[in-house]
Each structure stands twice: as structure tokens, then as C-alpha cells.
Amino acid sequence: MSVARVVCAWRAGRAGRATLAALAFATGAAVPALSELAAQDSRDRARDAPPVVVASKPFGESYLLAEMFAQLLESAGLAVTRRPGLGATEIAFTALRTDAIDVYPEYTGTGLVAVLRDSVTEAMRRDPRLAFDRVSREFPARFGVRWLPPLGFQNGYAIAVRRETAERLQLRTLSDVARRGRDLRAGFTSDFIGRGDGFAGLASAYGLAFKSVRPLAPAVKYEALATASVDIIDGYSTDGLLAKFDLVALDDDLHFFPPYEAAALVSPRLSRERPDAIAALARLSGRLTEADVREWNRRVEVVREPVATVARDALASLALAAPGATDLDGPVAEGTRGGAGFAEFFWARRLETLRLAGEHSVLVLVALAAAILLAVPLGVVLARVPGIAEGVMQVLGVLQTIPSIALLAFMIPLLGIGARPALVALWLYALLPIVRATYTGVHHADPDAVGAAEALGTTAWQRLWWVQVPLAAPVVLAGVRTAAVITVGAATLAAFIGAGGLGEPIVTGLGLADTRLVLSGAIPAALLAVIVDLALAGVERVVGPAHRRARRPQSAD
């Protein structure tokens, strides 16, 4: 994985530099030219520096702002690595805190509620600056993470209804909904339903009640509202999709929602070592208006223009970058313009899809091969020492029950983001089916045959290799098939921690509510699972034990 290699390379580079710095420091007191060296060092730094890793969370505005950050840095002559669409707040923030990424766009309200787990004061609701003061004081102290000055606009929760509903029931504010909206059916993201500052708090603040409340994925929320499957949803105030579906955002007249001012959130390393990058990013502070951002979001989410194009136009309109200075390699770079049919869209993306399928296959094959290398011998050992077998398999079973996204998040502090943590997580998931199959296959191999072999004088090893393992082989292979299919599916989630693969268009597509993009990852992933399964079925036939292939008529006695 080229990305993993780059990350490793600059990790190693950083460690090397730290060692040099320590040496220089140790001997430095006696060297009069030290300050001269330091000056030289800072001149060299920009040229030799590792790329700034710019990341985003998986939704349209986050992609757009991150791409603007990236282009801004590039126009200042800095090298940039893009990591769009990282999982969710916990994954992106963990990656940032541990220097696996350097900057991503975040919102003060999210910082307060999701990271600090603070309650939002009445004063903050009325004055967003207070919220920003709080997070920009707390984050450096607690995490070494720094907030750059706000970008200038807010993107808070917006509770929205269809225009027709708003007009029919005369809804303008959430207080109106509390009074006249009791027959509405709500569809909220599960995130919003679960959070204390989400639906529960909102309902008690306004005295809201609905006919029903259903959890919905962000990707389908708008469709569900537009097709009248639900009547009221949670959205974001700068959402381009509000315009697309002709929705009305209701006014939070009691100021329940915390302020969500957007700002660049910067890693400890970047704020310590890269004043040049900080200066470049800070040029965006205070420059964005809610109206501008809503229009840009509309171009990304509704018109489906490439994120890179919209970002470049946006920077040009702010006179922050020369037009045409940057590449177009955004997350939805090719063939995503609205209007095209799915077949056409899919065809336009064929090379990208092939590349992602290749990445995906490498993830699966490496994780699976590593799993086989450990799981088969482990299964054989457990069959020989059945006393510990159940215990070991229960531990593996517990691993299996950790939700993939949580397991991936656990990996970040240990292994950063990218292919390596994804491989470890996939490897852990693949272990249990193979260990269990091997154990079962060996332990339950034809007891009559094994017993007879023992009674005729074979040693335990001979029985294992001559009888039990060959007889277990089909069962082991079946376990490998199960693990392979699971791994192909789980590998799509690896995109949440920047490991690439076919999950990438799925994650991006979910973030942009772009069904075609989701399908352009999901369909090849499903096909890949089928292909892997069939290929392993073929392997099973070819290397299966001879007695299962031979089919001769039984002769009479």
C-alpha cells in the first residue's frame, strides 16, 4: 500500500530528525553557531518537511472545507496528503490527537459536546464566541490540539420539513412544531436520537412529541423525507440538500442547539513544528459566510460537481488562490456530475473502480493470509489441548463482537490511520472462523479411523499429519471461505480510517447522499465477495482429498 509506505517513511523521517535534534541539543551548548544552524533548519524545513495530512469527516461540507485547506496549503508551496472521509468524530479526532493526521474541519458544538462532554451553557447558546473560547482553551491543555480562529460561519442542526408541510401547518419555528406538529413522523440520524444534546434534550426543551420517531441513515434521510416516508428530519443549516429537496429549516427559537462554528482543528505536531502551515490555513479564518458555504455545498451535493473544482472556485472567489493552480483529485473527481445514468457513471469510473478493487483485494488477501498463518496452527494446537480450546475461542469470539468501526478506532492510537491498522483489524476478525473450523475439523476427524490408527501403533504426530489434518482439510477450507467473505465485507469499513479500497466510494457516497457513488463501491464489493467465494470453492475441489473426488461404482461382494 503506497499510502502506508508514505506514512511509514515520514514517521521514520521524523524519528530520525528528533534524534538529530537531541544530539545537536546535547552538544549544542558548546557550539556558538547553533542559532545559525537553527535558522538554516527552518529554511530547510518547508522543503524537506513531510506532507501536511489534511483529512475530513464523511459528509459533503467536511470534504469541501478539507479540500479548501489542502489547496490553500499547496498554493503556499507545501506538500499535502489528502485523507478525506475518516469515520466519524471519534476516528478523525483520535487520528488528529495522535498526529496521524494534521488538520481537519470541526465545529465548536461538536468539540464541546462530543469531545469534551461539556454541557452547553445558556450564555454560549446566545454568544457563539463563548463556546469557541471554551474549546480553544480546553483542547490545547487536554489534547495538545489547537483550534484556529473560526472560518466565519455556523453549521448547526437544522430541523427540516417539506415546504408543503410547513405551509399546511404554518410551521416556521420549533415552537410551532411543538404546538401543531404532533401528527408528524420523524426520521432522525441515530446519532441525533442518542445524544443528550440531540432529540431527547430538544423534545424536553420544546415539549415536542411526534407520531413516530425512526432512526435513519444520513444517506437516506432526505429521500425518505422527499418521498413522504417521514415528515420531519434533522439536517444541517448549510446543507446543500435542503435546497435540493426544497425543504424548510425551522428556526431554533429557544436557542436549544449549541453553536456550531466551523474552524480548522490542528494536530499537536503541526501546531508545534509547522508555523508555515498554520499561517497558510489561518488565511481562511473569518472569510466564509453561511450563504457562500450553502451555495458551495449545493454545487457539491446537488449539482455533483467535483469537490476539487468547487474548492478551487471558492478560494478564487476569496482571492486566496490562483485559479487552476491545483490538481483535481478530489474524492468525487471523475464522472460524478449530475444527470448521467448509472451505467454511464459506472463506466466513467471503471479505472478508479479497478484501482479500488485492487486495493481492496490486497487488504483482504494480506489479512486473510496472515490469519491463516496463525489460525490454522492455533486450531491444530487447540485440538491437541482441548482443555484450553473453549477459553481461547471465547476470547476470539469477544473480539468478533466488537463493532468493526470501534475496533478500527482502537487501532488508531497504536497504528495511526491507513492500511496498517485496517489490516490488523481485518486480521483479528478473520481469526475466529478459521480457528474454529480447524479445531472442529481436527478434533472431530472420523473417530473410527483415528482410533484404529492409534490402536495399530501410530504416534500422535503421525495421526495428526496422516489422518486428522487431511480429514480436517475440507472443514478448514470452509472456514477460510467464511473468513474470506467476511473480510471482503469488513474491508469496506476500512475506508473510514483511510485505508482505501471499495469502501471509499461507499463512505463518500453515504456522506454526500449520492446513491450512485455508494453503489459504485457496493456492487463491486459484493461481486468481489462472490468471486472470492467461488475461487475458494474451486480450490476446495482441486486440493480436496482424493477420496472425495473419486467416484466409482460400488462393486458387489
Q: Contact residues for other proteins (CB under 8 A)?
A: 446, 448-449, 451-459, 462, 466-467, 470-471, 545-547, 550, 552-557
Give dist(CA 221, CA 19) in Å, integer.
Answer: 52
The nearer residue to other proteins, 16 or 451, going by C-beta atoms, is 451
Give dist(CA 202, CA 1) in Å, integer.
Answer: 45
Give dist(CA 204, CA 241) in Å, integer.
Answer: 28
Give dist(CA 516, CA 81) in Å, integer.
Answer: 26
The nearer residue to other proteins, 92 or 471, going by C-beta atoms, is 471
How many helical (H) and strand (E) elements, i.e. helices and strands, does the chain have?
Answer: 28, 10
CA distances to 25, 203, 233, 301, 365 from 247, in Å: 61, 21, 10, 15, 46
Q: Which residues contact 494 (CB under 8 A, 6 or more apart)?
A: 363, 408, 419, 422, 425, 426, 500, 501, 503
What is the smallest separation between the CB atom of 384 and other proteins, expressed in angstroms?
A: 17
Cβ density class 315-326: b for 16+ within 10 Å, e for less: beeeebbeeeeb
Report whether 418 contacts 361 (CB < 8 A). Answer: no
The nearer residue to other proteins, 26 or 556, going by C-beta atoms, is 556
The nearer residue to other proteins, 122 or 448, going by C-beta atoms, is 448
The nearer residue to other proteins, 25 or 465, going by C-beta atoms, is 465
The nearer residue to other proteins, 324 or 457, going by C-beta atoms, is 457
The nearer residue to other proteins, 341 or 457, going by C-beta atoms, is 457
Give dist(CA 80, CA 6) in Å, integer.
Answer: 12
Report whether 224 contacts 230 (CB < 8 A). Answer: yes
The nearer residue to other proteins, 35 or 462, going by C-beta atoms, is 462
Give dist(CA 300, CA 311) in Å, integer.
Answer: 9
Report whether 29 contacts 57 (CB < 8 A). Answer: no
What is the smallest separation between the CB atom of 451 and other proteins, expressed in angstroms?
A: 6
What is the smallest separation between the CB atom of 447 and other proteins, expressed in angstroms?
A: 9
The helix, strand and coil proportions of the chain, stated in percent and rounded to the nearest 5, come to 65, 10, 25
Closest CA to 242 of 313, 307, 308, 290: 290
What is the smallest separation between the CB atom of 230 and other proteins, expressed in angstroms?
A: 59
The nearer residue to other proteins, 329 or 446, going by C-beta atoms, is 446
The nearer residue to other proteins, 43 or 552, going by C-beta atoms, is 552
What is the smallest separation between the CB atom of 424 and other proteins, expressed in angstroms?
A: 36
What is the smallest separation between the CB atom of 337 and other proteins, expressed in angstroms?
A: 59
What is the smallest separation between the CB atom of 327 and other proteins, expressed in angstroms?
A: 59
Q: What number of CA atoms fall less than 13 Å from residue 307's CA on the CB side?
A: 27
Q: For the CA atoms of 388, 394, 396, 399, what is the dihedral angle to 10 degrees?
A: -150
Angle at Cα 364 formed by Cα 359 and Cα 369, nearest 5°?
130
Phi, psi of 279 (to 5 degrees): -65, -40
What is the smallest separation between the CB atom of 388 and other proteins, expressed in angstroms?
A: 21
What is the smallest separation between the CB atom of 552 and other proteins, expressed in angstroms?
A: 5
What is the smallest separation between the CB atom of 463 and other proteins, expressed in angstroms?
A: 10
The nearer residue to other proteins, 467 or 480, going by C-beta atoms, is 467
Q: Which residues contact 60 (CB under 8 A, 6 or more apart)?
A: 239, 240, 297, 300, 301, 511, 512, 513
3-state secondary structure 299-343: HHHCCCCCHHHHHHHHHHHCCCCCCCCCCCCCCCCCCCCCCCCHH
What is the smallest separation between the CB atom of 464 and other proteins, expressed in angstroms?
A: 13
What is the smallest separation between the CB atom of 435 and other proteins, expressed in angstroms?
A: 23
The nearer residue to other proteins, 204 or 459, going by C-beta atoms, is 459
The amino acid occupying position 237 is: S
User: Can you tell me whether residue 51 is helix, strand or coil?
Assistant: coil
